[in-house]
Amino acid sequence: MGFLSNRRKRVRLAPELDDQELGRLLKSLLATTRTGTIATTDLCMAQMSRLLEQGPDDWDRRTHRISVLADFLSASHLPKSWAAREPRNPTALVLHAWSQVAQAGPRAQGGDRSDAAESCLRAAELAPDDPAPWVALLKVARWERWRQPQVFGVWNEVLARDRWNREAYMNMLAYLSPEEGGSRLQVLDFVDALIARVPANAPCVATELTAQVFQYQAILGRGGYEALVARTHWSQGMAAQALDRVVHTWGQPGFLRHAKALADLNLLAYALMAGDRRAEARAVFEAIGGVVTAWPWQIGGDPLTEFEQAQRRATVGM
């Protein structure tokens, strides 16, 4: 019991991952928005602006921060208020559009979709070098179920500004899935093209493994005999190759340097445990350091509980 109790103190859901400045901002926003005064709104806007203006050319870190803030503030008035007060601030416009999509979800119906798309396009005009407006528009395109030629047009705009943007690759992967606008074959083609050229430690390097986790979870979702033998997915073909390609490198100190590196390590630990590769998972759990992402652990229930149980199984027999 003491072992589990001590671990619970260390394990935590942290959308900011290892971004301590972003974590402090989230705590501050949570504390200050409870008052609901105009002065509080001004303070929150200033805090967000100050953080998002740091490292203006670090597109990876900036995209991570915008995505986390958009999810965090999806039910808040703040993004809309900021965009209304500063209609020529591209960061405010992007955050507003992104938060609209985060609130509704990619498959939701209704909502002021034209406003979200227009916000992205205005932001792109005001900040022509910034990929964030185009990444946000890619999310809007999924939300609105745009046709593939339009979506690929937006995708190319992102790549022209940030070749390995993780958020863009994950959105394209989801859009090309059978559940949205594509097929299993399109997913395979997309991943194959990526494997051939992506650097081993690029921000989008987890795209291939993410596709395999999606497929594994789809097998589990079908139930029956397929779900009972789903573990074999990780010992065959492309899934086994995907794990083999990354298991000995990702966990090395300093190998993954992008903003969502800890999210990728969570993904790797999940896949290794799903494939019963416990010995290899141990080092990955050590590298994670207790920072848990909701996905993919939430597929089995409470993500913290699922993470802890998997971590415990990985250490059995040590």
Q: What pLDDT digit, counting tens, does each position of 85-133 carry? A: 999 999 999 999 999 998 876 454 444 566 899 999 999 999 999 999 9
Task: Report the pLDDT value the prediction gives residue 57, as an integer from 0 to 100.
Answer: 87
What is the four-CA torsion angle of 307, 310, 314, 315, rounded to 10 degrees? 70
The answer, yes or no, to whether residue 2 has pLDDT greater than 60, is no
Mean pLDDT over 33-56 rounds to 80
Cα–Cα distance measured from residue 274 to residue 310, given in angstroms and rounded to the nearest whole number: 9
Token pair belonging to 114: 């034209």
pTM to 2 decimal places: 0.91
The answer, yes or no, to whether residue 201 has pLDDT greater than 70, is yes
Cα torsion angle, 31, 34, 38, 41, sign: positive
Cα torsion angle, 63, 196, 265, 106, sign: positive
Angle between the 38-52 and 78-85 helix axes, to the nearest 10 degrees?
Answer: 80
Q: What percent of the chain has pLDDT over 90?
A: 77
> pLDDT-based confidence at 30, cuts 50/70/90?
confident
Concatenating the DSSP letter of every residue in 51-89 gives: HHTSSTT-HHHHHHHHHHHHHHTTTSSHHHHHHHH-TT-
Task: Report the pLDDT value the prediction gives residue 317, as an integer from 0 to 100.
Answer: 55
Task: Report the pLDDT value the prediction gives residue 91, as an integer from 0 to 100.
Answer: 96
The answer, yes or no, to whether residue 68 has pLDDT greater than 90, is yes
Mean pLDDT over 221-242 rounds to 90
Q: Which helix (H) or strand (E) holds 227?
A: helix 224-228
> pLDDT-based confidence at 1, cuts 50/70/90?
very low
Task: Report the pLDDT value the prediction gives residue 114, as an integer from 0 to 100.
Answer: 65
> pLDDT-based confidence at 275, cuts 50/70/90?
very high
Lowest average pLDDT, out of 5-9, 194-198, 234-238, goes to 5-9
Mean pLDDT over 151-164 rounds to 97
> pLDDT-based confidence at 36, cuts 50/70/90?
low
The residue ranges of every structural domain in the chain are 20-162
On whether the 20-162 domain is CATH 1.25.40.10, my answer is: yes
Tell which wins on pLDDT, 41 or 246. Answer: 246
